[in-house]
Amino acid sequence: TNALLTYHISKGNADLQFGIDQTTGVITTAKFFDRELTGRYELTIEGEDGGVPTGRSSAQLNISLSDINDHAPEFLSKTYTTSVPEDASVGSVVAFLVATDADIGTNSEIQYYITVGNEAGLFALNSSTGTVTLNAS
């Protein structure tokens, strides 16, 4: 019976995100993850034998979730309104568009594009910064 080991998660699993096979110690996921809510888990795993007295040991298991691109960018405003003087010079800043993305890393990088309404090419949009400038007058 001394060789009979049992395992359990003693800390870090309050939301029951993980399960553990008491016999093998294999840890499995019990729920879906949302990295934007919780990006890291720190579990304490304990193992004990069947001896008398019982022998125990523990280990820390740190789990970091990698991001998936599960959030679309969102503009801070749904409508941007501006005016341009008729004598504005080419290159004048017309507007600053701002969007955010709840993802991280490359999944949160935003590229800005004008998709309709600029057929005459009057405006230029910096695809990285969201700055709209006058392209022609």
| Count of other CB atoms within 10 angstroms of residue 45 | 20
**Whole-structure pTM value:** 0.67
Report the C-alpha gap between 12 and 123 in whole angstroms: 53
Cα–Cα distances (Å) from 87 to 90, 117, 127, 134, in that order, read 9, 21, 25, 11
Beta bridge partners of 6: 48
What are residue 47's DSSP bridge partners?
7, 57
pLDDT by residue, tens only, the chain of 137 residues: 667 899 999 999 999 999 999 999 999 999 999 888 899 999 999 999 988 898 999 999 999 999 999 999 999 999 999 999 989 999 999 999 999 999 999 999 999 999 999 999 999 999 999 999 999 86
The reported pLDDT for the residue numbered 137 is 67
Q: Which helix (H) or strand (E) holds 11?
A: strand 6-11
What is residue 1's predicted lDDT score, i.e. its pLDDT? 60
Rounded to whole angstroms, the Cα distance separating 59 from 8 reads 11
pLDDT at 132: 97
In this predicted structure, what is the pLDDT of residue 122? 94
